[in-house]
Amino acid sequence: FISVTLSPEEAAGAGGYNNSKAWRRRSCWRKWKQLSRLQRSVILFLFAFLAVCGVISYTSVGEPWKSLTNKSLDDQRTEPEIPGLKLANPAVLPAPQKADTNLGDYPELSPQKPPKAPHVQRGPSNLQIKPPRRDVRLKARHDRSRVAEEPIHPDKEEKPEKSVISWRGAVIEPDQSTEPPSSKIKEPEKPSSVEAEDQKEPVPINDRQLAVVEAFRHAWKGYREFAWGHDELKPLSKSYSEWFGLGLTLIDALDTMWILGLKEEFEEARKWVANDLVFDKNVDVNLFESTIRILGGLLSTYHLSGDNLFLEKAKDIGNRLMPAFKTPSKIPYSDVNIGRGTAHPPRWTSDSTVAEVTSIQLEFRELSRLTGDEKFQKAVDEVMKHVHTLSGKNDGLVPMFINTNSGQFTHLGVYTLGARADSYYEYLLKQWIQGGRKENELLEDYMRAIEGVKKHLLQRSQPKKLTFVGELAHGHFSAKMDHLVCFLPGTLALGAHNGLTADHMKLAEALIETCYQMYAQVETGLSPEIVHFNLHAQKGHKDVEIKPADRHNLLRPETVESLFYMYRFTGDKKYQDWGWEILQNFNKYTRVPTGGYTSINNVQNPSNPEPRDKMESFFLGETLKYMFLLFSDDIDLINLDKYVFNTEAHPLPIWVPA
């Protein structure tokens, strides 16, 4: 406590108000002199203490403050405002660093030590397109009889392949590169592709494949000219649309270019990834969509090309998506702000979509294997384990929503293999395959679900008696089938190829016929988004009925995807012919002369299919890739015993049983 006593004259300013500088200086000095020594020491001590505190807090707070200020300024400069996003909200986790800054500062978001550069030349140098040879046959059909008849042996482990196989000039050694992640693994993994020393002759591409290459080039021309670096091409307005602002089409198309042998295009796109793809952006992305398209696309391109750039980018986006898992139930939120490290459910609900939270596993598990960092796999495995134990299933069929707080299914009683549930079933099987066919819970859930499909959802239409998968709502069957369900024949065939019951292959054959009819019975030869099947024969009616709201086509891949699997596993050329018809109809009704393909509004009107002015990224990522693979007779062109495709058609290596 310090008291200062002033004389009355001083207090009055020596006879009046005097505020001159000299007077104030003199009076302060006089007051100082009047203080006792103790009082002066206390004041000096206080000043010194405050000064020291000031210096300390400047060094610890000043820098982050400065960078935060710069960051939000940058955000304001370069990013559009995200509606509903309160910029003042504190981040749940520290904001992820830029790709090229030191991630080690935030241990929770840091990837493991980066792997050594693979001992390969960068991507395109491995591409060696040899002149076409037309005498090539499908070399070895996949052991059909073994596949169809063998009972399920979930524990049975296949011997790793001994031979090194080559594929389009790149030599792939999955048996050396596909260890599953385990707590023991600390060293990052190598990509599948290694130096092309021991190459097998690449199988030449045929005329139908050339037609796919031509279609891809045409689509790419539009994207390159009018939408370069943006998410989607709007081919009619010669512009683009943005979803996440992350060059979605370009990333989705990278491995397709690699597989199609489009060296120059790949190289140019690679440059964009190296120089312009930045994830440090204040933008909300959908966890599922960015995982399957971006993370999946980068991981598969890394495997095919051996180029470390893609793994680095994959690690960056993988880390930035992790805040989605910070929920009370560990069931991830649907949306993540990848610049701020915050996640949230959609504005109107705290539910997530079941297919979304259960179809990100292949990618995150592979990221763990490659980086040696278990956190990615742990997060997604936890989701699967939780869903495995949940009540609310109907003979293995799952509802469409799950709550991120309670972890329980919501909106019970509605079962579909279409939108919001589809890839749950696909990823049960594919994770089981990826992990070396050892994870029995996944297989159990898959087998049970297919039994559930047979029991509750299968019906036959009239007049052609097509087997289709309908929907069940509170005990009522609806003869409605999304085009999305056409992934199922391919998945069933893949399961049968991996030793599951021959019934699954039979069902796959019946369902792919139905999916083909969803194209063939329509005026343009293109399937609508949704069909309703006739359960009773009526004169002049086909099996397939289309409601006005459902008659659009988004250039979706599911039917050609299944055709590809069916051809690989049966060798029946009719599947190639059906795919060829579909490609021709895409060319006839969706091709835009100035570059690109467009989704259409009306598959029933050949004279005006009503172009929608949008080319979805999966047209390049999936549809054209599966077409190219369907027309190929080279089983080593993405060998299905070595790779498993994610739900966006990005091939990831199958881990060899340890």
Q: Report the binding-site residues for Ca(2+).
A: 647
Q: Does the annotation count 173 as an active-site position?
A: no
* Sign (positive or negative) of CA dihedral 556, 557, 558, 559: positive
Shortest distance, position 587 Cβ to ligand DMJ, whole Å: 19
Q: What is the DSSP string of 589-641?
A: HTB-TTS-B--BS-TT-TT---B-S-B-HHIIIIIHHHHHHHT---TTTT-TT
Q: Say if CB 327 and CB 408 are below 8 A apart.
A: no
Tokens of 653: 């290596």
Amino acid at 112: Q
* Residue whose Cβ sits closest to ligand DMJ: 647
Q: What distance in Å separates the CA atoms of residue 281 and residue 286, rounded to the nearest whole number?
A: 14
Q: Three-class SS string for 72-100? A: HHHHHHHCCCCCCCCCCCCCCCCCCCCCC
Cis ω for the linkage preceding 606 (within 30 of 0) = no
Number of CB atoms found within 10 A of residue 78's CB: 11
Q: Does the annotation count 187 as an active-site position?
A: no
Helix (H, G, I), strand (E, B) or coil at 460: strand
Q: What distance in Å separates the CA atoms of residue 181 and residue 179, rounded to the nearest whole number?
A: 6
Please tell me whether residue 368 binds ligand DMJ under the rule CB under 6 A. Answer: no
Amino acid at 340: R
Catalytic choice (289, 374, 523, 581): 289
Shortest distance, position 288 Cβ to ligand DMJ, whole Å: 8
Helix axes 440-452, 488-497, angle to 10 degrees: 130
User: Which residues does the annotation place in the binding site?
Assistant: 647
Q: Which of 202, 222, 341, 557 binds ligand DMJ (CB under 6 A)?
A: 557
Give the DSSP letter of residue 486. Answer: G
Q: What distance in Å separates the CA atoms of residue 417 and residue 515, rounded to the nearest whole number?
A: 14
Please tell me whether residue 647 binds ligand DMJ under the rule CB under 6 A. Answer: yes
**x/- map, 435-474, ligand DMJ, by CB under 6 A:** ----------------------------------------
Q: Does the annotation count 581 as an active-site position?
A: no
Catalytic choice (529, 561, 616, 648): 529
Scan residues 484-503 and list those touching ligand DMJ (CB under 6 A): 484
Scan residues 601-620 and list those touching ligand DMJ (CB under 6 A): 618
Catalytic choice (179, 482, 558, 648): 558
Helix (H, G, I), strand (E, B) or coil at 481: strand
CB environment 316-354: b (16+ within 10 A), e (fewer): bbbbbbbbbbbbebbbbbbbbbbbbbbbbbeeeebbbbb
When the beta carbons of 288 and 567 are compared against ligand DMJ, the nearer one is: 288
Shortest distance, position 618 Cβ to ligand DMJ, whole Å: 4
Please tell me whether residue 556 binds ligand DMJ under the rule CB under 6 A. Answer: yes
Scan residues 385-424 and list those touching ligand DMJ (CB under 6 A): 423
Q: Say if CB 344 and CB 91 are below 8 A apart.
A: no
When the beta carbons of 404 and 559 are compared against ligand DMJ, the nearer one is: 559
* Sign (positive or negative) of CA dihedral 627, 633, 634, 638: positive
Shortest distance, position 212 Cβ to ligand DMJ, whole Å: 18
Please tell me whether residue 223 binds ligand DMJ under the rule CB under 6 A. Answer: no
Q: How many residues bind ligand DMJ (CB under 6 A)?
A: 8
Shortest distance, position 622 Cβ to ligand DMJ, whole Å: 6
When the beta carbons of 435 and 557 are compared against ligand DMJ, the nearer one is: 557
When the beta carbons of 161 and 550 are compared against ligand DMJ, the nearer one is: 550
Q: Which helix (H) or strand (E) holds 172?
A: strand 170-172
Q: Say if CB 592 and CB 611 are below 8 A apart.
A: yes
Catalytic choice (307, 335, 351, 422): 422
Q: Which of 165, 248, 648, 651 binds ligand DMJ (CB under 6 A)?
A: 648
Q: Does the annotation count 545 as an active-site position?
A: no
Please tell me whether residue 533 binds ligand DMJ under the rule CB under 6 A. Answer: no
Shortest distance, position 603 Cβ to ligand DMJ, whole Å: 15
When the beta carbons of 320 and 556 are compared against ligand DMJ, the nearer one is: 556
When the beta carbons of 168 and 650 are compared against ligand DMJ, the nearer one is: 650
**x/- map, 13-52, ligand DMJ, by CB under 6 A:** ----------------------------------------
Shortest distance, position 323 Cβ to ligand DMJ, whole Å: 22
Residues that bind ligand DMJ (CB under 6 A): 423, 484, 556-557, 618, 622, 647-648
**Which residues belong to the active site?**
289, 422, 529, 558
